[in-house]
Structure 1
Amino acid sequence: MHGIDGIVYLILIACLMPYAFTMIAKIAAGFKAQDNQNPREFLAKSTGLAARANAAQQNSFESLPLFIAAILMAEYMVIPQGITMMLGIAYLVLRVVYGICYLANLSTLRSIIWFLSMACPILLLVIVIRTI
């Protein structure tokens, strides 16, 4: 991965990641075809692993706009690709670890990993701001 191709892959992976947690939530909750009438209500009533996977999915969607904005602004402002890729990959890896912590019910570690994952796009935006 390099150049604009790498940037597109970062965004694609980040956009698809929440759906992995959605699938885990549905499988863990015993989702059936009839539950598709109102899947959000079904998942809102879930407990345990399914509820945690659903929360990880929701949080993944919530962090997505900041990540995409940071990546696109870094590309627009011609931040060196190495920096953008390093922080982008770090974000993705940390988000996977965050999800694993959520599933395993490791709340303190999960919060630390969440903070580190959010620091990646924030740092990238700070770098962008410093180039202006």
Structure 2
Amino acid sequence: MSTAYWCVLTAALLPYLWVALAKASAPRYDNRDPRGWIAQQQAPRVKRAYNAHSNALEAFAPFAAGVVLAQLAGVAHAHIAALALVFVALRVVHGVAYVADLAPLRSLAWFGALACVIALLAQAARSIA
């Protein structure tokens, strides 16, 4: 089960990778008003990196819940680990594609990662039923 837990940790940290990239991609980051600073940015790469950050934050909670619920429901650890690894890989692809402005790839990665979360939650529900 530790593989899935490492994936949860990785997924928890991914948003900070993207926001660090956003902050490093523009001059004079203002830590006193980070949201105001991002709103003033004109560089598309900065905005895309920040949007990748926001999206990664949104994706984390359902993923973490899916891993925990699948484990509590007794889903095979190998299935949980496989879905968790695929989720993390797809979320990395999603962030890279977001920053690189590769919208079709970004959407595919997003849907794939969502499918992993749905599979985790569905397997948990099926195991309990």
CA RMSD of aligned residues (A): 1.1
Task: Tell me the distance in 1 between the aligned counterparts of 2:27 and 2:76.
Answer: 46
Identify the residue that residue 33 of structure 2 maps to in structure 1: 38
Task: Tell me the distance in 2 between the aligned counterparts of 1:50 and 1:42.
Answer: 11
Identify the residue that residue 21 of structure 1 maps to in structure 2: 18
* TM-score, reference length from structure 1: 0.91
Number of aligned residue pairs: 127
Equivalent position amino acid for 1:25 in 2: A
Q: How does 1:1-132 map to 2 (within 5 A)?
A: 3=1, 5-32=2-29, 35-46=30-41, 47-132=43-128
Decide whether the 8 Å contact of 1:22 with 1:53 is kept in 2. Answer: yes
* 1:61-111 deviation per Cα after TM superposition (whole angstroms, max 9, x unaligned): 001110011000011112111000000000000000011110110112211
Moved over 6 A (4+): none
Report percent identity of matched pairs.
Answer: 33
Task: Tell me the distance in 2 between the aligned counterparts of 1:25 and 1:66.
Answer: 24
Equivalent position amino acid for 1:39 in 2: P
Instruction: Please report how far the alpha carbon of residue 45 of structure 1 lies from its aligned counterpart in structure 2 after TM superposition.
Output: 2.3
Structure 2 unaligned spans of 5+: none
Decide whether the 8 Å contact of 1:87 with 1:120 is kept in 2. Answer: yes
Decide whether the 8 Å contact of 1:29 with 1:43 is kept in 2. Answer: no
Task: Tell me the distance in 2 between the aligned counterparts of 1:125 and 1:74.
Answer: 6
Task: Tell me the distance in 2 between the aligned counterparts of 1:108 and 1:55.
Answer: 16
Equivalent position amino acid for 2:122 in 1: V
* 1:18-42 deviation per Cα after TM superposition (whole angstroms, max 9, x unaligned): 000010000112243xx11101111
